[in-house]
């Protein structure tokens, strides 16, 4: 918007991950607001918690239908960009593009259906085959594909898609919002962890993350009274994880519900190290969890239980330690080592902040994406200053 684009976002009422519409919003057929100069249209969806394949699929299909209908009443854009945590969500852009006769760009944030197959959420071969057909259809018909990792591009190329259609634009971080904050003594006092070495996990507690590893590592470090694990977030597995913690009687694990974004800098401030974990899977070697960039920006050393491209990034940044996914003994050993080496923690954190400033500034990456959009939009307009963009 600040660079002269006219942007309309078509989305739903905020409700993730618990499936409860946030205060101040309603799940109506159509709502409109303006945020930071961006026109935001919210449409009705089947609201559900972030758990259960069938319900989540109904959520995405309902969004697809509502978004396409809403687009009929919106001014014509020059480009439609849809994002694909699931292809029914991303396919909204295909239909809007056809109705409006404009180019369609598809952003790939997860490989789908591979990601749900990898965590065992779906096993029926017929359903998997159908979803794979939808995947190939989306890749073939999109005017441009924008994956967020190099590994995703390699995967899409393996599906026979021409390289010139694919442009990688990685995730980044808002360096102003995620700026290091010294100390958070009031919050530490509130949580009863003042003076502790705090090992934090912030984010989704889902099937893909295998957060049992954290509880198992905490159990191994039960005798180290100066170390505490802090888990903040929600997701399909959180209830089971809380029950597991209680059954194991882990008094060195503090688990909190999802917190307001405005408070997260306080939580980062009291953290000594950050955990980024996923299940051990070949598929997850292709991903870069977005929380990596937040950890780097907050100058917090990372213990990374993810293989592949994420591990390559962390090693390049010299900002943390890589462990084998799902390996609780390794995690416990690395936590103990860092708890005894404050200077190493400080240097790893400093390295990470510097690296993310140089390579993953969200503003720089947003302008790269805008440049791609402008190139696609020139099919229908004279110059980038005239391009309007419809985003999801």
pLDDT tens for 129-144 read 998 999 999 999 999 9
Residue 225 belongs to some domain of the structure: yes
Let me know if residue 178 belongs to a domain.
Answer: no
Checking if the pLDDT of 391 tops 70, the result is: no
Q: What is the pLDDT of residue 52?
A: 72
pLDDT in tens, 277-309: 999 999 899 999 999 999 999 999 999 999 999
CB 268 within 8 A of CB 181: yes
Residue 164 lies in a domain: yes
Range(s) of the domain holding residue 307 = 185-359
**Average pLDDT in the 248-277 region?**
94
**Residue 1 falls inside a structural domain:** no
The DSSP bridge pattern shows strands 104-108 and 79-84 to be parallel
Beta bridge partners of 229: 199, 253
Please compute the mean of the pLDDT values over residues 236-256 and round it to a whole number.
96
Please give the radius of gyration of the chain, using alpha carbons only, rounded to the nearest integer: 22
* Average pLDDT score over the chain: 91
Question: Is 118 contained in some domain?
Answer: yes
User: 324 and 215, same structural domain?
Assistant: yes
Q: Residue 328: inside a domain, yes or no?
A: yes
Within 13 Å and on the Cβ side, how many CA atoms surround 139?
A: 24
In angstroms, the CA 341 to CA 219 distance is 21
Q: Are residues 59 and 123 in the same domain?
A: yes
Whether 35 and 121 map to the same domain: the answer is yes
Can you tell me the mean pLDDT for 349-362?
97
The string of pLDDT tens digits covering residues 195-227 is 999 999 999 999 899 999 999 999 999 999 999
Pairing of strands 273-277, 302-305: parallel
What pLDDT is stored for residue 379 in this prediction?
58
- Which residue in 351, 291, 341 sits closest to 320, CA to CA? 351
Burial class (CB in 10 A: 0-12, 13-18, 19+), 251: exposed
The terminus-to-terminus CA distance of the chain in angstroms comes to 15
- Domains identified in the chain, total number: 2
Same domain, 336 and 381: no
Helix (H) or strand (E) holding 131: helix 125-141
Q: How confident is the model at residue 84 (pLDDT cuts 50, 70, 90)?
A: confident
The answer on 158 and 221 residing in a single domain is no
Tell me: the pLDDT tens digits for 152-184?
A: 999 999 999 999 999 999 999 999 999 998 777
For the stretch 1-32, pLDDT in tens is 566 788 999 999 998 878 889 988 999 999 99
pLDDT level of residue 382 (50, 70, 90 thresholds)? very low
Asked whether residue 269 falls in the same domain as residue 290, the answer is yes
b/e for 332-362, b at 16 or more Cβ within 10 A? bbbbbebbeeeeebeebbebbbebbeebbbb
Q: Does 201 fall in a domain?
A: yes
* Same domain flag for 373 and 289: no
Question: Does residue 190 register a pLDDT over 60?
Answer: yes
Look at residue 386 in the predicted model and tell me its pLDDT. 37
Q: Give me the CATH number covering residue 333.
A: 3.40.50.2000
* Size (the chain), residues: 392
Residues 366 and 353 in one domain: no
d(CA 66, CA 80): 15
pLDDT tens-digit readout, 102-126: 999 999 998 888 887 777 777 888 9
Q: Is 179 part of any domain? A: no
Looking at the structure, tell me whether residues 355 and 368 fall in a common domain.
Answer: no
Tell me the pTM: 0.88
**DSSP codes, 35-96:** ETTEEEEEE------S--HHHHHHHHHHHHHHHHHHHTTSPPPSEEEEEESSHHHHTHHHHH
* In a shared domain, residues 226 and 342: yes
User: Where residue 385 falls among pLDDT bands split at 50, 70, 90?
Assistant: very low
Q: What is the DSSP string of 236-298?
A: TTHHHHHHHHHHTT-TTEEEE----GGGHHHHHHT-SEEEEE--S-SGGGG---THHHHHHHT
**What does 313-332 look like in DSSP terms, one character per residue?**
HHHHHT-EEE--TT-HHHHH
Nearest to 231 by CA among 180, 197, 267: 267
Q: Are residues 50 and 150 in the same domain?
A: yes
Question: Residue 116's pLDDT is what?
Answer: 76
Confidence category of residue 191, pLDDT binned at 50, 70, 90: very high
What are the two backbone dihedrals, phi and then psi, of residue 268, each rounded to the nearest 5 degrees? -65, -35
Same domain, 344 and 376: no
User: Starting from the edge strand earliest in sequence, which strands make up the sheet with 388-391, in order?
Assistant: 30-35, 38-43, 6-12, 388-391, 79-84, 104-108, 144-147
């Amino acid at each position: 918007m600040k660079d002269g684009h006219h942007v309309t976002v078509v989305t739903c009422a905020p409700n993730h991950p618990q499936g409860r519409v946030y205060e101040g919003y309603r799940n109506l057929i159509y709502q409109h607001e303006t945020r930071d100069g961006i026109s935001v249209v919210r449409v009705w969806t089947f609201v559900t918690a972030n758990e259960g394949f069938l319900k989540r699929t109904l959520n995405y299909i309902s969004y697809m239908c509502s978004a396409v209908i809403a687009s009929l009443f919106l001014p014509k854009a020059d480009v439609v960009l849809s994002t694909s945590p699931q292809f029914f969500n991303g396919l909204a852009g295909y239909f809007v593009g056809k109705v409006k006769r404009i180019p369609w760009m598809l952003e790939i944030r997860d490989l789908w259906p591979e990601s749900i197959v990898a965590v065992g959420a779906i096993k029926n071969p017929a359903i998997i085959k159908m979803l794979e057909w939808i995947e190939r259809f989306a890749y073939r018909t999109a005017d441009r594909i924008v994956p967020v990792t190099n590994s995703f591009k390699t995967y899409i190329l393996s599906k026979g898609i021409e390289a010139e259609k694919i442009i990688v634009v990685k995730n980044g971080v808002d360096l102003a919002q995620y700026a290091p904050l010294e100390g958070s003594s009031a919050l530490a006092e509130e949580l009863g962890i003042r003076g502790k070495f705090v090992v934090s996990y912030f984010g989704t507690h889902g099937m893909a993350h295998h957060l049992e590893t954290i509880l198992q590592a905490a159990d191994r470090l039960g005798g180290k009274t100066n170390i505490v694990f802090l888990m903040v977030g929600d997701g399909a597995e959180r209830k089971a994880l809380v029950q597991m913690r209680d059954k194991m009687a882990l008094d060195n694990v503090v688990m909190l519900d999802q917190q307001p974004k405005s408070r997260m800098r306080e939580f980062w401030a009291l953290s000594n190290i950050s955990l980024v974990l996923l299940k051990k899977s070949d598929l997850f070697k292709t991903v870069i969890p977005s929380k990596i960039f937040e950890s780097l920006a907050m100058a917090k050393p990372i213990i990374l239980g993810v293989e592949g491209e994420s591990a390559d990034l962390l090693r390049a940044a010299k900002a943390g330690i890589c462990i084998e996914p799902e390996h609780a003994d390794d995690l416990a050993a690395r936590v103990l080592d860092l708890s005894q080496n404050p200077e190493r923690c400080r240097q790893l954190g400093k390295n990470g902040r510097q690296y993310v400033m140089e390579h993953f500034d969200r503003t720089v990456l947003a302008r790269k994406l805008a440049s791609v959009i402008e190139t696609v939009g020139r099919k229908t307009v004279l110059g980038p200053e005239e391009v309007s963009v419809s985003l999801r």
